């Protein structure tokens, strides 16, 4: 099956063409992640046209991953989180029909990435798997007994970043307090550091861009605030993984997202925590990094279209 794909994530946008398990090409598109989805459509259309032309056509549909709550049946974005806030009023299904004469399936971006990892990545052959992406926010997705977890209103599985981990904690972009995402994600990091005791007088306060790469780098150089914030964030991520293991009972846990590119052994720290504390008498959940990285959602367009076409 040959499909076109779009991935509109929290911090990156890309288009791609996939032939079953072969990624034919992926093209990154500049975006600030805060703009308008409507304004993004022309460049997406142009890019997909060029991809189709370069790779010989015969594409059966378009898989469209979006960083928000998505009603897959209606083909509509239901809710966004300060990213592309016009997305709920954009009808991408009609857009695809008019522009390409192709069916389009819309899905949450992390769910689509997990479908991709299962199709030809870290989760090949696994029917019980959870994926978490650590980046701008914290995304999650789950497959249970071979079925992608979506729930009645398409919200199950993808809101793992919004379980409460700190009672009365930091205000999250979703409106609640103390969500995993509010306590340890790239968008929250400047505020987390800024309110940490000792921040003002340390080297972090002189950084223009406070992301996890910068934080880990200062921790490596022995800065006490950077080390403390790093250890706390790793603790939050480990608790998030533990909670998701208890929620969805997976055999395999995939960690992805930009933060995982860091040299700090995040995966080992999380695995050790879950090995020690998960209530899993059957054995240990296996942890691994995303294999497909930023192309996971693009590859996920193939199984997404397969599910869609099999249900018609």
Instruction: Please report, as ranges, the residues that interact with a copy of itself according to CB under 8 A.
Output: 69, 78-79, 127-128, 144-145, 149-156, 159-160, 162-168, 174-178, 232, 235-236, 239-240, 242-243, 246-251, 276-282
For the bound state, the minimum distance from the C-beta of residue 215 to a copy of itself, rounded and expressed in Å, comes to 18
Rank residues 210 and 242 by Cβ distance to a copy of itself and give the closer one.
Answer: 242
HEC profile of 181-224: HHHCCCCCHHHHHHCCCCCCCCHHHHCCCCCHHHHHHHHHCCCH
Taking the C-alpha atoms of residue 161 and residue 186, their distance in angstroms, rounded to an integer, is 13
For the bound state, the minimum distance from the C-beta of residue 269 to a copy of itself, rounded and expressed in Å, comes to 14
CA distance to 40, 103, 281, 293, 312, per residue, from 94 (Å):
15, 9, 49, 29, 18
For the bound state, the minimum distance from the C-beta of residue 53 to a copy of itself, rounded and expressed in Å, comes to 38
For the bound state, the minimum distance from the C-beta of residue 19 to a copy of itself, rounded and expressed in Å, comes to 31
Residue written as token pair 């009808």: 91
Rank residues 59 and 253 by Cβ distance to a copy of itself and give the closer one.
Answer: 253
Rank residues 69 and 296 by Cβ distance to a copy of itself and give the closer one.
Answer: 69
Rank residues 142 and 215 by Cβ distance to a copy of itself and give the closer one.
Answer: 142
Rank residues 12 and 150 by Cβ distance to a copy of itself and give the closer one.
Answer: 150
Rank residues 243 and 291 by Cβ distance to a copy of itself and give the closer one.
Answer: 243
For the bound state, the minimum distance from the C-beta of residue 251 to a copy of itself, rounded and expressed in Å, comes to 6
For the bound state, the minimum distance from the C-beta of residue 291 to a copy of itself, rounded and expressed in Å, comes to 21
For the bound state, the minimum distance from the C-beta of residue 277 to a copy of itself, rounded and expressed in Å, comes to 4
For the bound state, the minimum distance from the C-beta of residue 180 to a copy of itself, rounded and expressed in Å, comes to 9
DSSP single-letter state for residue 278:
-
- Which helix (H) or strand (E) segment holds residue 266: the answer is helix 266-277
Taking the C-alpha atoms of residue 94 and residue 102, their distance in angstroms, rounded to an integer, is 9
Angle of helix 212-220 versus helix 224-248 axis, rounded to 10 = 120
- The pairing of strands 252-256 and 69-71 is unpaired
Find out whether 256 and 291 touch, Cβ atoms under 8 Å. Answer: no
Alpha carbon 220 to its chain's center: 27
Rank residues 31 and 140 by Cβ distance to a copy of itself and give the closer one.
Answer: 140
Taking the C-alpha atoms of residue 312 and residue 293, their distance in angstroms, rounded to an integer, is 30
Handedness of CA 186, 187, 188, 191 (dihedral sign): positive
Rank residues 205 and 276 by Cβ distance to a copy of itself and give the closer one.
Answer: 276
CA distance to 26, 53, 99, 124, 171, per residue, from 62 (Å):
14, 15, 11, 22, 36
């Amino acid at each position: 099956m040959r499909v076109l794909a779009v991935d509109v994530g929290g911090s990156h946008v890309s288009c791609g063409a996939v032939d079953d398990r072969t990624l034919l090409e992926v093209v990154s598109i500049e975006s600030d992640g805060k703009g308008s989805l409507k304004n993004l459509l022309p460049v997406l259309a142009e890019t997909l046209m060029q991809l189709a032309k370069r790779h010989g056509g015969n594409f059966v549909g378009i898989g469209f991953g979006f960083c928000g709550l998505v009603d897959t049946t209606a083909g509509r974005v239901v809710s966004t989180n300060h990213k592309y806030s016009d997305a709920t009023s954009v009808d991408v299904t009609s857009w695809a029909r008019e522009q390409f004469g192709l069916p389009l399936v819309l899905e949450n971006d992390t769910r689509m990435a997990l479908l991709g990892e299962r199709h030809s990545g870290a989760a090949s052959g696994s029917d019980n798997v959870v994926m978490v992406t650590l980046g701008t926010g914290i995304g999650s997705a789950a497959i249970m007994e071979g079925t992608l977890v979506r729930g009645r209103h398409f919200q199950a599985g993808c809101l793992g970043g919004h379980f409460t981990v700190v009672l009365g904690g930091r205000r999250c972009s979703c409106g609640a307090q103390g969500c995993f995402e509010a306590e340890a994600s790239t968008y929250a990091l400047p505020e987390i550091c800024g309110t940490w005791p000792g921040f003002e007088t340390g080297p972090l306060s002189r950084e223009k861009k406070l992301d996890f790469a910068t934080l880990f780098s200062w921790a490596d150089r022995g800065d006490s605030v950077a080390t403390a914030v790093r250890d706390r964030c790793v603790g939050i991520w480990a608790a998030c993984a533990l909670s998701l293991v208890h929620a969805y009972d997976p055999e395999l846990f995939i960690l992805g997202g930009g933060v995982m590119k860091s040299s700090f052994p995040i995966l080992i720290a999380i695995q050790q925590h879950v090995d020690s504390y998960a209530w899993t008498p059957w054995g240990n959940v296996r942890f691994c990094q995303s294999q497909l990285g930023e192309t996971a959602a693009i590859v996920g367009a193939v199984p997404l279209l397969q599910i869609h076409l099999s249900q018609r």
